Structure formats: C-alpha cells, structure tokens
Amino acid sequence: MKRWLAVMLWCWWLPRVALAQVIPVPQPQQEMWIAVPLLWSQGSHADIVSAIACSSDGRWIASATARGDQGMQPVVNLWTAPTGRYLRSFNTDWRTYLGDATALLFSPDSRYLAVAQEQPRLPIYDLSTFRKWTEYALSGYSLSTDRYGQWLAVGGASRVSLIGGFSIRTWRVAPSDNEFVYVWMTPDGRYLAAALGMRVQLWRADDQTLVWEQPIPAKAQCIDGFAPADAVAVGREDGVVSLFRLSDGQPLIATLPQGYGFVHLVAFSPDGTLLASARGHTLRLWRTTDYALVNEITLREWAGYGGTPQATSLAWSRDSASVLVGFEDGEIRQYAVPGGQQLRWIARRVEPIGFDPTSYRLAVRYRDQTEIWDSASGRVLQVVPHTGILSPDWRWLAQVSSDRITIRRFPDGSVAHIIQQQEVSYLGARFSPDSRHLLLEAIFGAGRWLTVLYRTDLWQPEWQGEDEMPLLWSPRSTFFVTHFSPNVGNSQVVVRRRQDGAEMLRLPAASRLVFSPNERWLAVVHPRDRVDIYRTTDWSLKWQFPATNMVDNWWCVDFSGDERYMLWRSREQVTVYEAGTGRVVNDTIGMASLMDARFTPDGSALLLHSSGMGATSVLFVAIGWVVNPYNAFYRSAFFGDNPDSAGRGWFSPDGKLYLYQREDGTLRMLANPFTRLVRPRPRQ
C-alpha cells in the first residue's frame, strides 16, 4: 500500500516540477500590439489658408496653411470634392518649419499633387498611394502646367523654373532677388506668362525668349489666363485687375478697385465664362465676353472684435458651378455662382465642449452656435443657434456677458433664467459635475473678486465669497476650490465644502489641486517643489514626493477610477504610485515630448500621448501591463499621426472614446481597443 502511495505522489509531483522548470515563452510582438481604431477625422486649418486647388477629375480638393500669426507648421489637407469630407494631411516636413506652403497644383490626370514652399523644397505626392513621390530643391510662390502635364512651371524669387521629367530649366526674369514671381502656362505648353513686381511678361517656353513685357501701376499678387479668350488677368495689390491680350500684350480693360484687403486673387472659371476676383471679404464675378460685372458677393459676416476675416486663397470647382475661398482664420467656404449662396464649409475651426453623459453625442462650439455630433461617426445631428458654458447633464447653457448671465435650456435654447445684479460685472461660470450647482465669477466694487454659488433647480444663491475667484469643482461636487486674494495680499487657494461653504483646507496661491474620482484623495502640486497627497476624510497629509523637474505646464496628475493608483507625469517621465502608500508601482521613462498621460475612465488602460519631430503618437497600455513602452513584450495599442499635435484630448465618460485636437485644429476620434465598443444605441 505504501508503495502504491509513493508511486501516486511521484506521478503528481513530477509534471509540476517539469512545468516549473520550463521558461515561459512570451507571445510574439505583433500579437501584443493592437491597432487603435480611428473612427473619424474632421480636418481644419488653425492659420491662414494660403492655397486651394481642385483636381481636374472632380475627386479631390487640396488646401494648404501658412504659419500666419500662430507660427505653426504648414500642413496640406486633402478633401473629397463631392462631399467635402476630410481624408488626410500631408506634413510638409518638420525641417521646413520656417517656410510657408504657398501654392498647390494637381497634375492634369489628378494623380499627383505638387506643393510649393518658401523653402527650397517642392514635394510631389502620389495620390494613388498617398506617399511622397519625389521632391525638388526649389522654392516657389506659384505653380502652373500644360494640359498634358509634360512641364511644371514654378515661379520663385525673381526666377522661373520649368521641370520636365529629370530636366530643370531655370532663368532669371528680374534683376533683383526679392521679387515674387507668379506664373501661368498656356495649355499647349508653348508660352509662359509671368507677373512680378510692377510688370507682366510673356516668355517662349522652349528657348526662354521674352515675347512682350507690359508695366502695371502696382505690384502683382496673382496671375491667371484663358487661352481661347486670348486673355491674361493680373490681380494687383491696389485692388485693380489688369487684363492683357495674350497674343500681343495690349491692355484690354481695368476693373474698378476691389476694396480693402491685403491680398488680391483672380481666377478664370474652367469653362472660361467667368472671371472671379476676391479681395478682403468681397468676391466679384465678371462675364468674359464683355467683362461686365455679373455679381458682387459679400463672403463673410461681421466677426466682432478684430473685424471680418479676409480671403487669402481662391479656386474654382471643376464644373465651374462654384468657387472655394480660403480665409485668414483657417476657414474654407464654397459659394454657388453666380448667385453667391454659401453651399457648405470645407474647413472650419471648432472647439469641443464635451460628451453627453451617455457618450453617444459630442458637443462642439463654433462662433455663435453649438453643434451636436454623433460621437461614433462625427455626423452633425443638430445645430443650436446659441453658445456658452454647457452643463455636464446637457440641460443648461450659460451665456456670460458683463452685465448678466443668461441661462438657456439645452438644446431648445429657450431662456430659463437671467442672473443680474447691480454694480456687478460677470466674467465666467462653472457648473458642478452633477449639474446641480453653478459657480459665478464676477467683479464688484473697486475691482474686487466675487464668487457666488447658485442652485440650478431654483436659481437661488446659496453662498458668496468676497475677494475669491472660483477655480474648480471636485468630481462628485462635494467640494469647490477658490483663489482667495485679499487687498492686503497673501493670496491663497481655499478648499470649501459645497454644502455650507465651510473652509476645509488653505494652501499657497501657486498650488494646483487634483481630486481623485471618488474624492478620497487630493493631490496638491507645488510647482518646482513637491507633490502632497491628502486624505479628504480628515484632511491629513499622507505622503509626498519631490517634483523639481517641472517646466511650465508639462506635468499631469491623474488617479485611476478605483483610486488605487496615482499617475505623475513630468516632462518625459511617467511614474505610477499606490495612492494610499506612495509606493512606486512602475516608472515609464524615455517618452520623448510626452504631452498627456492619463488613466481611461473605465480603468482599462493607460493613455500616453506624445508629440514631436513632425509626428505624434497615441499609445494605450492595458492595465496590468504598465511597463516601459519600449519593452517588446507588453499589451498595448498604437495610433500614429504625421503632423504635430497640441496634445489636448477628451475621454468619453464610459472611457471607450478618445478625442484629441491637433495644433492645426483637426479632430481625431479614436476608439479604446481595450474596452468593448459595440453598444445598443438608445432610440431617438
């Protein structure tokens, strides 16, 4: 019996010893990496739209942005012409950061797109693969081609270049080197018209012989021609269009001044029936048979402070039924001709407000209206003709003006209440996360701060604090934080209980506060010094760690949804702590240009958003695999984007969607791959 028992124990013990000695083999890296699904993109320009072009087959619209006042990297966007849907962006190369994209041109077969820049780089993109096909070391301000695409004409600085295959012909057309040259090539490729400075020239393309030259009273800013009509049109900086006969250079007619504007644009329609001229915020259309004025169109409405945005680029649709106009604020609008009705926006800068509590809808702000989008598709569901601060439950919209706060019901826009008090100037409003209370920021007396707490059911004040400015709410609306600034100085940050306004904690004015989701912990960041962790049940200091490597706002504190972990991001390093003890769980180092690091609201993953060197990446690391991202064996998901990103992002409340906005204004909606996205949609 003992012998059989020994045999049984041996049979049970031996396989376990063998398994314990086997080294576990990690899964292949390609199985550990998951692609982050891109649900939709909404393109935009955050700066001057410097050029627009339409493909000859009617499939594509290309637009380019210049740096303008924002100093951002020039980007070329590609859109579908039939629907105006954003497709992708071509980064013009991070090394040409100081150069603007000045002109765009599709090849006659619509397969290639050429991008002229101030810097000596002229890339040509293959639209069948969306990759750079080739690049020439040429700078340029205008582009043109013949009907067959055999020659590409580039107008540069006092020079004209002709590119044909591997050969490049370049000749000087002005004695000085500071003249911008604008070119137009005849469809047969025999002649090249050039406008530069205060003269217009016609050159023979094969031997670079000057055919004729005519002076103009003001500097040229644009040129276009229509060979069947034997006409060349030049837009001048004084707002006048000069017309010349192509054959001999004789003047045809000069239009009246176009009005105020810093750029003057002219373009013949593809069918040659109309000539369009844009300057400032006005578009004029002339009939080419006798150059009679057909219509004068006001392009933009009054935009308030700063004036009306001006037109900076112009292009005809290939069917000659509409024109596309780009503006200095990044918008692209399409207008019907000759009537002038606005057909649609191709590009506009929108500001995301937030998701609704169900995560199915997204609110975005545009100028004086709020739009409701379907969060999974980006489709516009409703347009609300009002804008303001939206409550988290999507019930109220607060409009702030200096003399009153107007509370509107959302989304119908009806006025529910008006908050107004004599000798009080209102500056802002903050809804509590549960939408039951509203903090108003105001000034009264001799410039003294005032904070007033209102209930949103009766719209009655519950508490007010003089010399205090509201800063933030805690996630469950139990506490709010104000900045106390008495006239005697010694400004401080005060944590107050919402129920009665009682003071819970007082900290130095430079402190930055972050509550955990269930308000159990409070992280207090003392810039360039340390981070303190308080327990809110008794407001005792539990633990702290030094934080000396801080630059401006390049830091972030976030708590996991279960409040077990706390994340600290400073510059290029992410550290995860146990929230209750301060024990380091993991360090993530070497993330270049790390711009955001957060836990997903559902607790499924950690988000790492980095940007730099002409590219941006969004990385999701599954919880339980929070390790160095350069380790080959960890479960993560990656999304790459070419142009730089501002790193500003929003999670949906259920943690399944992540929206971020690039520095050029483009919106990207990503799906969290570590949480189930398929959900039954509620009936409308």
Q: What is the pLDDT of residues 603-662, one digit of tens each?
A: 888 888 887 655 678 888 887 655 444 444 457 888 888 655 666 889 999 999 999 988
Average pLDDT over residues 111-132: 92
Select from 277, 280, 273, 283 the least CA-distant residue to 335: 283
- Alpha-carbon gap, residue 314 to 268, rounded angstroms: 11
- In percent, how much of the chain has pLDDT > 90? 60
| Residue 286 predicted with pLDDT over 50 | yes
Strand 38-42's sheet: what is its strand order?
38-42, 667-671, 657-662, 645-651
Task: Report, as an integer, the average pLDDT of 236-246.
Answer: 91
The answer on pLDDT for 147 being more than 90 is yes
The predicted pLDDT at position 248 comes to 92
With 80 as the cut, is the pLDDT of residue 29 above it? no
Judge whether residue 680 has pLDDT over 50.
no
Give the tens place of pLDDT for each residue, 327-372: 988 899 999 999 999 999 899 888 999 999 999 999 999 878 999 9
* pLDDT at residue 175, as a whole number: 85
The CA distance from 616 to 598, in Å, is 16
State the Cα–Cα distance between residues 350 and 46, nearest whole angstrom: 10
For residue 498, pLDDT beyond 70: yes
Looking at residues 190-195, what average pLDDT do you find?
Answer: 96
Query: How many CA atoms within 13 Å lie on the side-chain side of 661?
Result: 15
Identify the CA nearest to 585 among candidates 637, 625, 533: 625
Distance (Å, rounded) from C-alpha 365 to C-alpha 359?
Answer: 17
pLDDT grade for 49, boundaries at 50, 70 and 90: very high
The band of 493, judged by pLDDT with boundaries at 50, 70 and 90, is very high
Q: Is it the case that residue 57 has pLDDT exceeding 90? A: yes
- Residue 221 has a pLDDT of 93
More confident of the two residues 252 and 451: 451
Does the pLDDT value for residue 411 go beyond 50?
yes
Tokens of 285: 């259309």
Q: Are 93 and 99 in contact (CB under 8 A)?
A: no
pLDDT confidence tier of residue 534, bands split at 50, 70 and 90: very high
Report how far residue 99's alpha carbon sits from residue 305's, in angstroms, rounded to the nearest whole number.
29
282 versus 260: the higher-pLDDT residue is 282
Among the ranges given (51-60, 107-116, 483-492), the one the predictor scored with the smallest mean pLDDT: 483-492
pLDDT for residue 30 is more than 70: no
Q: What pLDDT was estimated at residue 69?
A: 47
Domains of the chain in start order, with CATH, are: 110-347 (2.130.10.10), 402-509 (no CATH)
Q: Which residue in this structure is represented by tokens 């189930």?
A: 676
Question: Taking the C-alpha atoms of 174, 179, 185 and 191 in order, what is their torsion angle to the nearest 10 degrees?
Answer: -10
pLDDT > 60? residue 684: no
- Given this model, what pLDDT does residue 66 score? 77
Q: Categorize the per-residue pLDDT at 588 as very low, low, confident or very high, splitting at 50, 70 and 90.
A: low
* Phi and psi angles of residue 197, each rounded to the nearest 5 degrees, phi first: 55, -125
* Chain segment 446-469, per-residue pLDDT in tens: 889 999 999 999 899 999 999 999
Position 97 pLDDT exceeds 60: no
By percentage, how much of the chain surpasses pLDDT 70? 85
